Amino acid sequence: AGPAQLTPEQETLLARDERLLSVFWLLLNDWSFDEIQQEFAIARAELTLAFARLARARLIDWGPRERARLVVPRDFQWRAGGPVKKAYGARVMQEFLGGRFDGAGELLRFEARDLSPDSAAVLRRKLERLAAEFNEAAEVDSTLPGRRRTAFGLLVACRPWEFSVMIALKKRKSAGAQAEGSRSKPA
């Protein structure tokens, strides 16, 4: 069936309003109404309006004492090429990768090697398990107050990829071989 996704309408709503997207992200990470109001610069009236809009969009159930419960699966994926990725994808990647990755709890490694299709499939399954473990750890930590948790980003990626220098080399080699082939033909 594929990964869970929000509806296009839900994504469009979030993509059009940065503050609403921020409140939704906090709710995804188990922040309460009171915690959000205490820790962030958002007025009670604005936060109440955000909760109401999220409830109307069927992203949360909103009940007594400002309690919210997600209606959507916590592990949903943003639509590839969807409204949120179009609106924020490049900015998120630029900001995330703009760090130095030399602090406590930070790591950035890039590896590039040749793999068989079978090995690539095994690697993909392992990376999917790692992402699931990341989400499981967040679930366990969700019982802690928001101020005792730190927002973390996890970039997990793999794809067939070749450095542009190598591609250019292949083109030069192909062009050079063709040129040599045409020179060696008898006239």
In this structure, the dihedral spanned by the alpha carbons of residues 60, 128, 139 and 95, taken in order and rounded to 10 degrees, is: -70
Conformation bin of residue 66: beta by default, left when phi > 0, alpha when psi is -120 to 50: left
Helix or strand holding residue 22 (H, E): helix 18-28
Non-local CB neighbours of 64 within 8 Å, separated by 6+ positions:
none
**Mean pLDDT (10-residue bins), the chain, 187 residues:** 90 97 94 93 96 98 95 93 96 92 91 94 95 93 92 89 80 61 53
pLDDT given for residue 187 in this prediction: 47
Tokens linked to 19: 């503050």
Strands, E assignment, the chain: 60-62, 68-70
pLDDT given for residue 3 in this prediction: 83
Please name the residue that has the structure tokens 């109440």: 48
pLDDT given for residue 175 in this prediction: 59
pLDDT given for residue 169 in this prediction: 73
Say if pTM beats, i.e. exceeds, 0.75. yes
Q: Rounded to the nearest 10 degrees, what angle do helices 83-97 and 8-15 cross at?
A: 50
